[in-house]
């Protein structure tokens, strides 16, 4: 099998240093024998095209990136949005950095495909003017802009945001390139772009918790017009832009008028029973009990001590062990990961013969062709 000898090894080393990885770790990740990779760096062997493509895909680069003889232009290697997130959280793992760049590439694919389709059907991002508004007034205006009904869940919140020209991605619960590891503190991030911002929300054990992360990230995009990456601490911050994003998310999800349905006289003494007390509201609004409690604190109907006791209970509660899930509906995973708008755009481009089946498969998380056809059938039936 023919092997490529003209690889710019300095560019591989640059990617390794940028990601904080060793050569042996790279060999394991891209399924190339460590001994083979060592010989490549010693100039004794080359890589097959398939091996080079796997390596390039892993680092989010084209194969030509590693064949160029020029040194890496570090200023052009990462986008300003990526650098913003990396500066916010210098401790970001190599996998997280690669995920951020992967999301950026998916947005580029989406915008390129969108430009090929009927411009009259394109939804452009046109945010409301929030300049000079208080956080509560901004939340009220954005809720109207999104056209939210009184009853919601994560999927309806996501659809409302996507309908306004943003992309909303969700990390995959399965191990793979679209997963945020369970042990990672990152709950989500947003990448600001005046043409098409994108939000990624970590798959969590509760859709309601994802809803708050989603609206927190939307707050950064609309209030601060900047990219952000957030962990559990940020979603409980009490100062600065993180506190503003938290207040925005809480008031957007649970406006003051909603709190009228919460009966204080029925509040149990045991904080462990708070979620059951708030069960009707939690189901109706698609939010966690914690979000409602924080809003009750905001309006002076719950003490900070009571809220703190609930938080302490919640952090130490015992959860039943979950069994492994099924990938029976692998064909629908791209919709869960990339959202309805992205998937429809890829399928529309395929049906318009703007891209091949192979390209569509690549753009949809490398679906098998048989699963891609099942996905098409799924969309044809709804």
For 59-77, what is the HEC assignment?
A: HCCCHHHHCCCCCCCHHHH
Average pLDDT over residues 296-304: 97
Q: How confident is the model at residue 327 (pLDDT cuts 50, 70, 90)?
A: low
pTM as predicted: 0.89
Average pLDDT over residues 254-276: 97
Q: How confident is the model at residue 323 (pLDDT cuts 50, 70, 90)?
A: low
Q: How confident is the model at residue 321 (pLDDT cuts 50, 70, 90)?
A: low
| Residue from 180, 185, 215, 182 nearest 199 by CA | 215
Percent of the chain with pLDDT over 70: 97
Q: How many whole angstroms separate alpha carbon 293 and alpha carbon 262?
A: 10
Q: How confident is the model at residue 95 (pLDDT cuts 50, 70, 90)?
A: confident
Average pLDDT over residues 214-243: 96
Mean pLDDT, the chain, whole residue set: 93
Q: How many whole angstroms separate alpha carbon 353 and alpha carbon 53?
A: 25
Place of tokens 């309806």: 156
pLDDT of res. 123: 85
pLDDT of res. 1: 66
In the chain, where does DSSP find H-type helix?
A: 9-19, 23-29, 34-41, 49-59, 74-77, 80-88, 94-116, 135-146, 154-162, 207-219, 240-253, 274-277, 279-285, 289-298, 304-316, 333-338, 340-351, 357-363, 369-380
Domains of the chain: 9-77 (1.10.260.40), 330-380 (no CATH)
Average pLDDT over residues 39-57: 92
Task: Tell whether the model's pLDDT for residue 322 goes beyond 80.
Answer: no
Task: Tell whether the model's pLDDT for residue 319 goes beyond 70.
Answer: no
């Amino acid at each position: 099998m023919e092997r490529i000898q003209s690889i710019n090894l300095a560019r591989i080393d640059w990617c390794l240093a940028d990601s904080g990885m060793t050569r042996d770790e790279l060999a394991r990740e891209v399924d190339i024998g460590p001994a083979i990779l060592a010989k490549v760096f010693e100039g004794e062997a080359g890589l097959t095209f398939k091996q080079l493509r796997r390596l390039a895909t892993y680092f989010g680069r084209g194969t030509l990136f590693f064949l160029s003889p020029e040194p890496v232009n570090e200023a052009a290697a990462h986008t300003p949005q990526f650098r913003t997130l990396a500066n916010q959280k210098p401790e970001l793992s190599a996998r997280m950095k690669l995920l951020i760049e992967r999301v950026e590439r998916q947005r580029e694919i989406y915008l390129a495909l969108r430009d090929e389709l009927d411009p009259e059907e394109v939804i452009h991002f046109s945010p409301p003017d929030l300049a000079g508004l208080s956080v509560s007034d901004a939340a009220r205006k954005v809720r109207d802009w999104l056209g939210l009904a009184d009853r919601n869940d994560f999927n309806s919140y996501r659809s409302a945001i996507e309908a306004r020209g943003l992309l909303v991605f969700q990390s995959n619960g399965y191990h793979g390139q679209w997963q945020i590891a369970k042990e990672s503190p990152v709950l989500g991030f947003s990448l600001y772009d005046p043409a098409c911002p994108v939000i990624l929300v970590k798959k969590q054990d509760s859709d309601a918790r994802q809803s708050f992360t989603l609206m927190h990230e939307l707050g950064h995009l609309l209030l601060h017009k900047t990219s952000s990456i957030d962990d559990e601490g940020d979603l409980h911050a009490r100062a600065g832009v993180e506190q503003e994003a938290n207040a925005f998310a809480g008031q957007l999800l649970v406006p003051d008028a909603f709190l009228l349905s919460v009966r204080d006289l029925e509040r149990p003494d045991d904080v462990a029973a708070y979620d059951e007390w708030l069960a009707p509201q939690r189901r109706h609004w698609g939010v966690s009990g914690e979000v409602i409690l924080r809003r009750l604190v905001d309006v002076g109907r719950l003490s900070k001590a009571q809220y703190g006791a609930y938080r302490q209970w919640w952090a130490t509660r015992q959860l039943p062990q979950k069994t492994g899930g099924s990938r029976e509906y692998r064909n629908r995973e791209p919709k869960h990961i990339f959202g309805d708008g992205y998937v429809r755009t890829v399928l529309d481009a395929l049906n318009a013969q703007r891209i091949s089946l192979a390209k569509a498969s690549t753009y949809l998380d490398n679906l098998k062709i048989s699963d891609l056809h099942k996905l098409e059938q799924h969309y044809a039936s709804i």
